[in-house]
Copies of this chain bind each other. A is one copy, B any other.
Amino acid sequence: MSNPAPSLTSREVRLAARPQGEPRPTDFELAEAEVPEPAEGQVLVRNLVMSVDPYMRGRMNDVKSYAVPYEVDGPMYGGAVGEVVASEDPRVPVGTFVQHELGWRTHSVVPARAAVVVDPEQAPLPSCLGVLGMPGMTAWVGLFDIGAVRPGETVWISAASGAVGSLAGQLAKLAGCRVVGSAGGDDKCRYVVEQLGFDACIDYRQGALEEQLAGAAPDGVDVYFDNVGGDHLEAAISALKVHGRACICGMISAYNATTPPAAPRNLGQVVGKRLRPEGMLVRDHAHLQGEFVREVGQLLADGRLTAQETVVDGIEHAVDAFLGLLSGRNTGKMVVRVG
Binding site for B on A (CB under 8 A): 58, 65-66, 229, 233, 242, 248-251, 254, 260-261, 263-281, 284
Listed from nearest, the 3 A-B pairs whose CB atoms lie closest are A260-B265, A263-B263, A270-B279
Contact of A271 among B249, B264, B267, B269 (CB under 8 A): B249
CA–CA, A269 to B261, complex, Å? Answer: 12
When C-beta atoms are compared, the residue in chain B nearest to A263 turns out to be B263
Chain B residues within an 8 Å CB radius of A261: 265, 268
CB distance from A53 to the nearest CB of B (A): 13
Chain B residues within an 8 Å CB radius of A249: 271
Chain B residues within an 8 Å CB radius of A264: 263, 267
A275-B279, A276-B276 given; A267·B229 CB < 8 A:
yes
Chain B residues within an 8 Å CB radius of A279: 269-276
Q: Chain A: interface secondary structure?
A: loop
When C-beta atoms are compared, the residue in chain B nearest to A65 turns out to be B272
Chain B residues within an 8 Å CB radius of A265: 260-261, 263
CA–CA, A284 to B275, complex, Å? Answer: 13
CB distance from A270 to the nearest CB of B (A): 4
CA–CA, A276 to B281, complex, Å? Answer: 12
CB distance from A243 to the nearest CB of B (A): 8
When C-beta atoms are compared, the residue in chain B nearest to A253 turns out to be B268
Chain B residues within an 8 Å CB radius of A273: 66, 279
Chain B residues within an 8 Å CB radius of A270: 248, 277-279
CB distance from A310 to the nearest CB of B (A): 24
CA–CA, A248 to B265, complex, Å? Answer: 15
**Of A249, A251, A264, A270, most B-chain CB atoms within 10 Å:** A270
Cβ contact within 8 Å between A263 and B274:
no
A229-B267, A267-B251 given; A281·B277 CB < 8 A:
no
When C-beta atoms are compared, the residue in chain B nearest to A247 turns out to be B271
